[in-house]
Amino acid sequence: MQQLEPQQFASWAEPIDMLYACHSKVKRFCKQLQILPEYLAKNGVNQAVKNDVQQILNYFNLSAPLHHEDEECDFFPTLLQVQPQAQAAVDELENQHELLHRNWALLSL
């Protein structure tokens, strides 16, 4: 399958850059899921598809839950200590995490 955008790499030295890089990865995997049916119809199953699907599975089964846990246990509480007015945005993000996990569970049945 096609590479949708260059991968971004960041380190803990730049935590906000790391957050953006992680979210960029989520967008890339979601885009791959969107284009997968059409790609399969045109090209069938090939090694590129198998590789991409394995990366998508690994991300949503392993990495995404850990990323969300990091945000919810470490980042959000720290953010709210400094910016309590961000509570509504944090609540919305936590709701989005839950929705993503529920949708992934339904999709992966």
The pLDDT mean for the chain works out to 87
Q: What 3-state class would DSSP assign to 21?
A: helix
| pLDDT band at 9; cut points 50, 70, 90 | low
Q: Locate tokens 């509570």: which residue?
A: 87
DSSP string covering 22-85, please? HHHHHHHHHHHHHHHHHHHHHH-S-HHHHHHHHHHHHIIIIIHHHHHHHIIIIIHHHHHHH-GG
pLDDT digits (tens, 9 = 90+) for 65-81: 999 999 999 999 999 99
pTM (2 decimals)? 0.75
90-105 burial, b for 16+ CB within 10 Å, e for fewer? beebeeebeebeeebe
Domain boundaries, the chain: 15-108
- The CATH superfamily of 15-108 is nmb1532 protein domain like (1.20.120.520)
Amino acid (one-letter) located at 60: F
